[in-house]
Every structure is written in structure tokens, then in C-alpha cells.
Structure 1
Amino acid sequence: MKILVIGASWVGDAMMSQSLYRLLMQRHPNAKIDVMAPAWCHSLLKLMPEVNLPLVMPIGHGVLSLRERYQLGRALKKNRYLQSIVLPNSFKSALVPFFSSISQRTGWRGEMRYGVLNDIRTLDKQAFPLMIQRYAALAFDRDRIHHAADLPSPLPWPHLTVSASDIDQVLQTFMPNCILPLIGFCPGTASGLAKRWPHYHYATLAEALIRRGHQIVLFGSVQEQASGEAIKASLPPDCRRHCRNLVGKTSLEQAVKLIAACRGIVSNDAGLMHVASALQRPLVALYGPTSPDFTPPLYHQSRSIRLISGGCKIRKYEENTGYHPALIAIQPTQVLNALQSLLL
């Protein structure tokens, strides 16, 4: 059985989708699952043994490109997929399987996708409160799963495995002379300051860990470089040599391998948090306006810290107006105590 999945466009969503692939392989052990996703995502997909072949989605996020989607769909027709599963909720994301004439095209209704999907599901958000549950439900027949309680328990969580040789190689590249235990920080987010723990709190935590004998490593994308620079600059001069700022200086694949080398991770609610969770690294996840009620870290040795309850919507224009009060209120001592409890 050949299945085409139209994958997610964000790191965290890409990681959580692995639970779907694991369930599909449990149901169909001989299935071949191809995942079409942006090229940057392939370094993650290649670490998922359930994925047969990562396919490049050449059309940018948010772009319709109707003719290109038609041509892409017709080109994929030769692969003879029996089913497609569309994870994004947009209308355009369902067009490639439609143009491929795949007989069963599965997904949530999303943007009124009647016709382009013929195995369409209507989402009751209260019935499936977690994103991982919404992905997992698509592995089963529509009439079988009506509520999260109908899903197998426990759900197979995302899980990445990196070889010791790969870890050693990337350590030689970026941390060749370090003998101290590594603690990784993921201080950025794709959506601006409002969802980031303040850089000065990260610096205070880094100083405390350095004085306890740890090496700090900062991870993130090129767009998040200012976060890493601000943290290192806020450290006392004698601590800076024990803080390696790799924000924007590694590929995603290299960052994954370096995170696997860390004894523990502290992260905002961001994609690398889900990577650390899937690598089964002890993890403290920091939430403000976003909530662990929807996308928590999926690892038993993790702690989520959030000091407010309920929803807290951040408008687009507010994302870079400053740190959110709910994140400012999380004190470094709280995070340090939570991390130390995981490292015992």
C-alpha cells in the first residue's frame, strides 16, 4: 500500500506528525509512506524510519501556484498512491492529491475542501484537544474514531534516534575541545518576542548552570540570531567562554544531532522543543500566551511551566512589541529547579 502524506510546514508540526506515520505502519506493516514537505524538513523525515521517501514540496508556503500544483499532481500520478492524507488545513494543500487522482483523499475539512478531499472529516476541537490526536485520527477509518478516547492508548509519540557516530562528528565540528556536560537553550520562536522567555532570564539561568559546571549551547535559526547574541552579551565576562552561541550557525540536521548530545534542554514553545522531546532529552518547556494544553512536549522527562491559564491570543502586530508578562513572570530559579529535578 502506497500512501502520500502532504506534510506540515513547521518544525513542531512535522515532529508531531510522526505519530501518524507510526500508527499507519502499525495498521499496514507493508505500507510505503512518502511525505511531501518543504526541503528544510527532510533532515527530520530522514530520521523517521516510518517514512519511505521524503518528497520536496517546491511551492512556497502560502502560495497558490495553481498551474505548478497541477503539474506536480500529474507527475505524481505514476506513483499509484492508494491514499493521500493532507495535514495542513488549507484548500491549496489538498490540490496535489486531487490532481494526482488518488482514490482516497483524507483530511480534516479545513477551508471547505469538499470535492478535493473525498474522505473528509469534520473536526470537533473539544473531542480532539491535542494536535497529536488530530493527526493520529487520520490513520483510521472515518467511522471508527469520533473522540480522542477512541484512539489507541498510549499513542506512539514522536521518537528520533541519532547514532553515536553522528553525534561525535558534529561535536568535533562545533565543540571540539569541550569536556563539560552540555545544556542546550532554544531561545527563539518563529513568531516574535511575545512568545519568548526574556533573554536576560536565559542569561541568569546560563550563569547559574555555568557556575555549576555546565557548558551552555544556544540553538536556533538565522532569523533568531538576535536572541542568542543578547543572551551571551548579558553574561558576566568570565562566563561567556562557556556559552557557545550556535543560533543561525548550524543546519537543522546539525542542530538535531547537537541537541541529542545535550544532557538537558530549556526551550520556548517552538519547533526545537518538539525535536528535543522526540530525542528524549530532559526538557523544560516555557509557555506564556501559548498553551501546553494543545502542543505539549511529548516525553515523560519534561516539565512545562506556565503561570497563567486559559487562552491568550496574540495579534500579529503584537508579536514584536515586547516580552509577554506571563513569560517575564517565570523566574530563572523556577526553571533551574525544574531542570535539576530532571537531571538527578
Structure 2
Amino acid sequence: MTRTLVIAPQWIGDAVMTEPLLRRLHARGERITVGALPWVAPVYRAMPQVAEVIEFPFAHGGLQLRARLQLAKQIRGRFEVAYVCPNSLKSALLPLLSGVPKRVGYLGESRVGLLTHRLKNPAKGQRPPMVAFYSALSGDQDIAADRPQLTLPAGEVANALHALGLTPQGYHVFAPGAEYGPAKRWPSRHFAELASQLDWPVVLLGSAKEADLCADIAAHTHRPGQIMNLAGQTSLSQALCVIAACHTMVSNDSGLMHVAAGFCVPQVAIFGSSSPLHTPPLNPRAHVIWLKTDPHYQPALTCAPCFERECPLGHTRCLNDIQATDVLSFI
């Protein structure tokens, strides 16, 4: 059995989209250890094919060479092959420093000498959907049909819901944040209006940075007693459990959107400045709302997708003009 190290991406959504790659590696007999940053590691614990998760003692940003050298010393000789998912130079350092003989990754950031098996990095406008982008590291040819699949032990989910006072499939989840910027966030007033029209309780999920956003949504609903604001109050592991057992998930294009897709829960994914052609929720139970492709929406959104953090034109029509009733029809 090949002893394999996978260097994980640093974003939750990207981590989810590496699951088909890991499933392929496992199916051909590789024992998979994933090296991941702490805020991404719980995603890999929801992948049964992962034998071990090593949480990196690295902070976001910076080379942190001393910490990498120390970890490389600890894992030296453990792995025969490494797959480096991120494109950064620093992400390829650990496999090199720990003596992994076969190191697979995309070319980028002058790391030619750090990799032994190098894939040409597609130009930004020609990059395939991210699942296919990561799956190509396996060297397999047939990679188009894969979709991420996440699984959690039933007991773990039940314990998490019990601690939060939630009933399985008895609530909706809203994830109104998007780390990238406001051009990916459906307005909070629309989330509040949607919550006011639902019969079941709504759980708001997000990071501590999104606590105020979620508080604003809760404050402007007409059913404040039926809103549970958990933004910044759960671990990612708990959030995964809440999403896995929800009735429906409503979100922007975000990491938690991909988590919901991985658990195959019914979901509505709202896109604005980004494109569902590149990072769609790969879920047969997902409904995507994107005014760019709505033939009835006028004037047409010729500006989308712009992939900007904030609307360059100052109107953010791509999100402001999506109404709560548009989303309600899919719930």
C-alpha cells in the first residue's frame, strides 16, 4: 500500500472539492494522510478514505520555515508520494524537506525544483472546474463525473444536535457570509425577509467575523424567536454536523455551500460576482440562482461574472435584484 501525503488547500470550499481526488487515490490502494491547517482539518475528518489528518502548526501567511523544518523532521521517511493541492511555493516545501521521493503538483511560484511530477497550470481563463483541477493530480484521465461526498458518524451528528437543542431535518440553515467580499453576499435584508416567510426555525452559521451580519438578519426578521444565531459560536466540526442534518441550506457561493453539497442536503446557492460554471455546488439536490443566466432578467448582466470583491459599478444588481420569493420557490 502506497503511503501518501496530501497537502490540503487553505479554504474550506477547496478542501471539499479535493474529496474526489482522495477517493481516487484510496480506490487504487493508497493510504492517505492529509496535512491541513486547523480551520480546514475537520473537513477531512468527514472523508472516510482519509486515514490520518495532520494539523499544520502554521499561521496564515508567511514562509514560517523553522516550523516547516521541525514538522519535516518529524514525518521524514513516512511517505512515498505527496500530492500538493495549493499552487504556492511554501505548500510544496514540506514534501521536499521531509524527503518524499515523488512530489506531484501544478507548476507555479517558481517551484519547478520542488516537484518531481509537474502538471502545467492552466491559464486563469482556461482553468477547468475546481474538482477536475484537483482530480487531475491523480494522473487519471476520466475525472469529469466526480462530485464531493462527505460523511459523518451518526452518533457524532446526534450529539452535536442534542447539545444545540436541534431536531434532525427540523430546521433550515442560512450561511449568509462569504469570505471573499460583499460582491458575493446576498443582502442581509433579503435573508431576513426569507426567514420571515419560513415555517421552520432558521439556524444562522458563520465565522466570528460574520456574527454582526447574522445578528442583523436575526434582528430584522418577523420571527425572532425562531432564529438561532450560531455565527462564531460553533467549531467547524459542529457546523458540519448542523449542515449534515438540516432540512434545507441557503447560502452564497462560499465554503459552507460546498459542505452542504458534499452532504447532499437540499440547498439553494446564490451567485453574484462569481460563476457557478467554475465552482458550482456539485449536488443533485442543489438549485443555483444566478441572474446572469436568467433570460427574463433585464437589462442583462453583461458585467457578470466580474470576480471582484466589491461591485466595480457600485450597484451589485447581480445580488440586490434576487428577491426572497425567488429563493422561497426552491425551499
Q: Is the Cα–Cα contact under 8 Å of residues 192 and 319 in structure 1 kept in the other structure? A: no
Deviating beyond 6 angstroms after TM superposition, the runs of 4 or more aligned structure 1 residues are: 319-323
Are 1:225 and 2:219 counterparts?
no
Q: Determine the C-alpha separation between the residues in 2 that align with 1:305 and 1:313.
A: 16
What pairs with 1:251-330 in structure 2 (closer than 5 Å)?
251-308=235-292, 310-315=304-309, 318=310, 324-330=316-322
* 1:179 CA drift (Å): 8.9
> What is the letter of the counterpart of residue 113 of structure 2?
G
Are 1:77 and 2:71 counterparts?
no
> What is the letter of the counterpart of residue 216 of structure 1?
V
Q: Determine the C-alpha separation between the residues in 2 that align with 1:97 and 1:165.
A: 35
Residue from 197, 200, 203 that aligns with 1:214: 200
* 1:198 CA drift (Å): 0.4
Q: Determine the C-alpha separation between the residues in 1 that align with 2:313 and 2:71.
A: 40
Q: Is the Cα–Cα contact under 8 Å of residues 198 and 323 in structure 1 kept in the other structure? A: no
Q: Determine the C-alpha separation between the residues in 2 that align with 1:225 and 1:304.
A: 25
* 1:204 CA drift (Å): 0.7
Q: Determine the C-alpha separation between the residues in 1 that align with 2:208 and 2:17.
A: 23
Q: Is the Cα–Cα contact under 8 Å of residues 184 and 219 in structure 1 kept in the other structure? A: yes
**3-state secondary structure, aligned to 2:291:** coil
Q: Determine the C-alpha separation between the residues in 2 that align with 1:38 and 1:179.
A: 30
Closer, same or farther: CA 323–164 of 1 in aligned 2, 3 Å: farther
> What is the letter of the counterpart of residue 154 of structure 1?
A
**3-state secondary structure, aligned to 1:96:** helix
Q: Is the Cα–Cα contact under 8 Å of residues 59 and 65 in structure 1 kept in the other structure? A: yes
Closer, same or farther: CA 18–207 of 1 in aligned 2, 3 Å: same
Q: Which residue of 2 aligns with 1:336?
A: 328
Are 1:171 and 2:161 counterparts?
yes
Q: Which residue of 1 aligns with 2:298?
A: none
**3-state secondary structure, aligned to 1:115:** helix
Equivalenced residues, count:
319
Deviations 1:129-175 (A, max 9, x none): 201001000011xxxx6xxxx424522x2212233333332222112
**3-state secondary structure, aligned to 1:338:** coil
* 1:185 CA drift (Å): 0.5
Q: Determine the C-alpha separation between the residues in 2 that align with 1:34 and 1:135.
A: 16
Q: Which residue of 2 aligns with 1:58?
A: 57
Which ranges in structure 2 are unaligned for 5 or more consecutive residues?
293-300
Deviations 1:287-326 (A, max 9, x none): 10011111110110101111126530315xx489988321
Residue from 221, 230, 237 that aligns with 1:235: 221
Which ranges in structure 1 are unaligned for 5 or more consecutive residues?
340-344
Percentage of matched positions with identical amino acids: 37
Closer, same or farther: CA 153–295 of 1 in aligned 2, 3 Å: closer
* 1:191 CA drift (Å): 2.3
Q: Determine the C-alpha separation between the residues in 2 that align with 1:97 and 1:7.
A: 12
Q: Is the Cα–Cα contact under 8 Å of residues 195 and 324 in structure 1 kept in the other structure? A: no
> What is the letter of the counterpart of residue 312 of structure 1?
C
Q: Determine the C-alpha separation between the residues in 2 that align with 1:99 and 1:292.
A: 38
Closer, same or farther: CA 137–180 of 1 in aligned 2, 3 Å: closer
Q: Determine the C-alpha separation between the residues in 2 that align with 1:247 and 1:278.
A: 21
Q: Determine the C-alpha separation between the residues in 2 that align with 1:112 and 1:56.
A: 26
> Over aligned residue pairs, what C-alpha RMSD do you find?
2.1
Q: Which residue of 1 aligns with 2:96?
A: 98
Closer, same or farther: CA 123–290 of 1 in aligned 2, 3 Å: same
Which is further off, 64-73 or 216-225?
64-73
Q: TM-score, normalised by structure 1?
A: 0.87
* 1:70 CA drift (Å): 2.5
**3-state secondary structure, aligned to 1:40:** coil
* 1:192 CA drift (Å): 2.9
Q: Which residue of 1 aligns with 2:130?
A: 131
Q: TM-score, normalised by structure 2?
A: 0.90
